Amino acid sequence: MKELGIRRAKLFGWPNTYVFTKAMGEMLLDTREAICRWTIDSVIIGYAKGKITCFFGDLDNIMDVVPGDMVVNAMMATMAAHSGQQAELVYHMSSSVRNPVTYATLEHCGFRYFLANPRVGRDGSVMPTKKLRFIKSMVVFRVFMTLRYKLPLEVMHLVNLLSCGLLARGYNELNRKYNFMMYLVDLYKPYVYFDGCFDDLNMERLRMAMKKDDAEARMFDFDPKHIDWEDYFCSIHIPGVMKYAFK
């Protein structure tokens, strides 16, 4: 079903089922309030487990991310602003214009966090923290993955067949890790090479209107300018991923 969903999404021009079903939901809404968001947690978890040692993309590119609580605040503010109205506005809750952050910042914060908080393996040994290697070109990345991992896997598969399944367990585990990595590649490719930003003028106008009530503006803050990205990643997001999502 997962593969069918991805094929269906691509048929209509969407890179994956996440954005496809999100777009379908927005099309059903009479009040069209579009919240632009994506998650970076899969990469963080893969890096934490030591399964991801290199990735692809341009570290200088801007990633348009927003903390989840700000997204919720923005949704409540837009609903309150248009209560009883038939709104014809699109709201982009984004950070690429007001407070852009690059992939380099996330990479640096991840390395710094795990250097200060080393991961411990199942055998109790401390896992070494190494910088995540980034390959800028997708073509070079795929060539690297083929030569470094896929071809040795195919050789191992052949030896396993010739030895009547003697290497089956090891091959299956390594092949699973390789497939997981390539799944992440297909999932994130449309985002890491996206060179653009979202017009959040409607959201900024809503923020300006809310400033008339200081107490309410502070309680339902959704201004990306108030985010210190390094502090957010190192003190909030990555620790949260490790506490609630890491298994």
What mean pLDDT is reported for the chain? 87
**pLDDT band at residue 112 under the 50/70/90 scheme:** very high
Residue 17, pLDDT score: 86
| Proportion of the chain above pLDDT 70, given as a percent | 95
Tell how far CA 175 is from the center of its chain. Answer: 23
Asked whether the beta carbons of 119 and 48 are under 8 A apart, the reply is yes
70-76 long-range contacts, Cβ below 8 Å, gap at least 24?
70/221, 70/222, 70/223, 70/224, 70/227, 71/35, 71/37, 71/222, 73/220, 73/221, 73/222, 74/35, 74/203, 74/206, 74/222, 75/33, 75/35, 76/220
User: What distances in angstroms separate CA 225 from CA 33, 170, 243, one per listed residue?
Assistant: 21, 48, 27
Q: State the pTM of this model.
A: 0.77
**Cα(112)–Cα(233) distance, integer angstroms:** 10
Residue 39, pLDDT score: 66
**Cα(44)–Cα(48) distance, integer angstroms:** 6
Q: What is the pLDDT of residues 36-73, one digit of tens each?
A: 455 678 889 888 888 888 888 889 999 889 999 999 99
Average pLDDT over residues 239-245: 91
Residue 67, pLDDT score: 92
pLDDT score of 32 more than 70? no
